[in-house]
Every structure is written in structure tokens, then in C-alpha cells.
């Protein structure tokens, strides 16, 4: 059992590792430096660039949204995000797209969905969904069953998951939910924060500035 836990730590998604490090630094108090101190900042695991021979200089920033490998298997932990369209008179939300990614940030399921009711508002400026996307989309009940099969018995990660589960007409055990909108260190004065604000603060990336992308939103979770 101990070796299994050790292996899981070794294969920790770098997005989580980076986030945990930022949370630790956010909570820790800055240390005072004595006058004339020549102490340098602690070295990173890789060391300083000049101490890393055989590595080409690359000033391009690391993309925290990029998957770390090409493993597309369904892992014990999956993250989910949904995009909604307007039905009825436009004021009722229905599922228009659902995406699930695995622990490594690779997509394991991504489908546009044809709602049961007629779509009157595609909400393209937010959802990114256009009429052409739903012309050959799968029926809601087909997608719902597939999603239910994938998340069953697994840890489900997301942001405001109650909204996603609501449009899917699904439920999930509370003990198996990991919702970034309800994670205590992310709350501000008891209120929830938007995912784009968390992404900017903890990962230094800009998302959801205009049309949403369910894939990039999920990799952050």
C-alpha cells in the first residue's frame, strides 16, 4: 500500500503540484533577511538554468494547460465541464456539450449534445456552441448514459459541479465530489470565486475571456 501511495505522488499532475506550491507560499509568511545577507532563493528541483548543461535555452513560458502525456485511459479521478444552451424561451438551460478529462488532462469524452427541447439560444458568446455543432450531435439520453458510466465509482472534479449534474439529470455521491468552487482555501469572505479568477491567481493563465472552452477549463481542475 505504501509503495502505491508513493507511486501516486511521483505521478502527480504538475498542475496540482504547482497549485499546491502556490497555496503553501500564499499561506506562509515572508521571512526577514538579515542585513547584508547573501542568501539566495532556494534552488528548484532542476536547479538554475546555468547549472543545467545539455539543456537548450528556452524562454517560452510553460503552458500549465498542456497534458503531460498522451494517456487517454479513464483514470480513477476524472474532471467534467458542461456548456449550456437556452431552451424554452431561452431562460432555461439545457446541455449542449460535455467534456471529461483524466488525471493527466487528456480528453476521454467530448460530445456536442442535441437537447430534448428545441434550442432557441445557442449562447455562442459564452458557450462557444454554434448551430452547425448540433446538426450531427448525439441525443441527450445517449450522452447522459455514457457520462453516467464513466463517472460511476470515480472521483469527480469540476467547478460548480451542481450545475453540470443538474443539466445532465444525474447525481453523484458527495464524498466523491471535488468542487473547486467550494474548496475552502479558494473562498473569499465566504463567497465562491469564478474559475477564471482562480486560474489567473494560482496558475497565471487567462481563460474564459469570451467563448468558453470546456477542455481548457477542465485541465485547470
Q: What is the pTM of this model?
A: 0.65
Question: What is the full DSSP assignment across the chain?
Answer: -HHHHHHHHHT--HHHHHHHHHHHHHHSPPPPPPTT--PPPPPPTT--GGG-TT-----SPP-TTS-SS---S--SEEEEEEEEEEETTTTEEEEEEEEEE-TTS-EEEEEEEE-SSPEEE--HHHH---HHHHTTPEEHHHHHHHHHHHHTTSEEEESSHHHHHHHHT----GGGEEETTT-GGG-BTTB---HHHHIIIII-----SSS--HHHHHHH-
pLDDT tens-digit profile of 123-141? 999 999 999 999 999 999 9
Structural domain that includes position 85: 77-220
Q: Check residues 41 and 18 and name the one with the higher pLDDT.
A: 18
Q: Is 177 a domain residue?
A: yes
Q: Is 31 a domain residue?
A: no
pLDDT classification of 148: cutoffs 50, 70, 90: very high
Q: Is 155 a domain residue?
A: yes
Q: Is 66 a domain residue?
A: no
State yes or no: pLDDT of 5 exceeds 80: no
Q: Is 7 a domain residue?
A: no
State yes or no: pLDDT of 115 exceeds 60: yes
Q: Is 49 a domain residue?
A: no
Q: Is 207 a domain residue?
A: yes
Q: Is 37 a domain residue?
A: no
pLDDT tens-digit profile of 19-57? 666 666 655 555 555 444 444 444 444 444 444 445 454
Per the structure, the count of domains in the chain is 1
**CATH number of the domain residue 190 falls in:** 3.30.420.10
Amino acid at each position: 500500500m505504501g509503495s502505491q501511495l508513493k507511486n501516486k505522488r511521483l505521478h502527480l499532475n504538475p498542475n496540482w503540484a504547482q497549485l499546491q506550491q502556490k497555496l503553501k507560499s500564499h499561506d506562509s509568511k515572508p521571512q526577514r533577511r538579515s542585513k547584508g545577507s547573501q542568501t539566495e532563493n532556494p534552488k528548484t528541483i532542476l536547479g538554475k538554468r546555468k547549472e543545467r548543461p545539455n539543456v537548450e535555452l528556452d524562454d517560452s513560458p510553460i503552458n500549465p494547460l498542456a497534458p503531460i502525456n498522451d494517456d487517454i485511459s479513464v483514470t480513477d479521478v476524472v474532471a467534467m465541464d458542461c456548456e449550456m444552451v437556452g431552451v424554452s424561451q431561452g431562460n432555461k438551460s439545457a446541455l449542449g456539450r460535455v467534456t471529461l478529462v483524466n488525471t493527466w488532462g487528456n480528453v476521454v469524452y467530448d460530445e456536442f449534445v442535441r437537447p430534448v427541447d428545441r434550442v432557441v439560444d445557442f449562447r455562442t458568446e459564452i458557450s462557444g456552441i454554434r448551430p452547425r455543432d448540433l446538426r450531427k450531435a448525439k441525443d441527450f439520453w445517449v450522452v447522459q448514459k455514457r457520462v453516467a458510466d464513466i463517472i460511476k465509482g470515480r472521483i469527480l472534479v469540476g467547478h460548480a459541479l451542481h450545475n453540470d449534474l443538474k443539466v445532465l439529470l444525474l447525481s453523484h455521491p458527495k464524498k466523491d465530489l471535488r468542487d473547486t468552487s467550494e474548496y475552502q482555501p479558494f473562498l473569499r469572505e465566504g463567497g465562491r470565486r469564478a474559475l477564471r479568477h482562480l486560474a489567473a491567481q494560482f496558475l497565471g493563465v487567462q481563460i474564459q475571456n469570451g467563448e468558453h472552452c470546456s477542455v481548457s477549463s477542465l485541465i485547470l481542475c
